[in-house]
Amino acid sequence: MFFGCAVLLACPTGPAFSRADAPRPPDPAVTAPAAEPWEPDELDRAAPAPVLTVSRSVALGMIHWYRHDLATRSVSRCPFAVSCSHFAERAIRERGFLIGVTLFIDRNLYRENTAMGTLYPIIQCSDGVLRLDDGFFLGDGNP
């Protein structure tokens, strides 16, 4: 009983860190990838983090809800290498809510049809399945 009370009293204080164990702010010199001598200095290493607005956050929350609660009860049948929910997530995250939604409508309702197999290159995904690659529409490979 005494042990239980001691544990309860100790709980709000949280786990005890020694000074050496305490989390430290990341050291930029350590976390940044080291430039190798054969790579030029101007190589772009880090993309700026996108700003999350309310509309973007709501849309991304809905996409996550779909992906975790609905998509798991269905089979994977998207013919594209980047699935529709991932396409929507990337489009909204990178281009904002309005442009992202228009790109998603274009992909999901206009471009996904019987002719798509002849229009997009086929690539092998990490799970070994051959799927269509329309990454250009998200900016991949776009000059």
Give the binding site for other proteins (CB under 8 A): 36-40, 43, 98-99, 101-103, 105-106, 109-111, 113-116, 119, 136-137, 141-143
Minimum distance of other proteins from residue 142's CB (angstroms): 7
* Choice between 66 and 137, CB closer to other proteins: 137
Reduce the DSSP state of residue 63 to 3 states and report it: helix
* Choice between 52 and 105, CB closer to other proteins: 105
Identify any residues that bridge with 122 across adjacent strands, giving them in sequence order.
132
Q: Which of 30, 42, 137 is nearest to 94 (CA)?
A: 137
Minimum distance of other proteins from residue 102's CB (angstroms): 4
80, 133 Cβ separation under 8 angstroms: yes
Minimum distance of other proteins from residue 72's CB (angstroms): 28
Identify any residues that bridge with 130 across adjacent strands, giving them in sequence order.
124
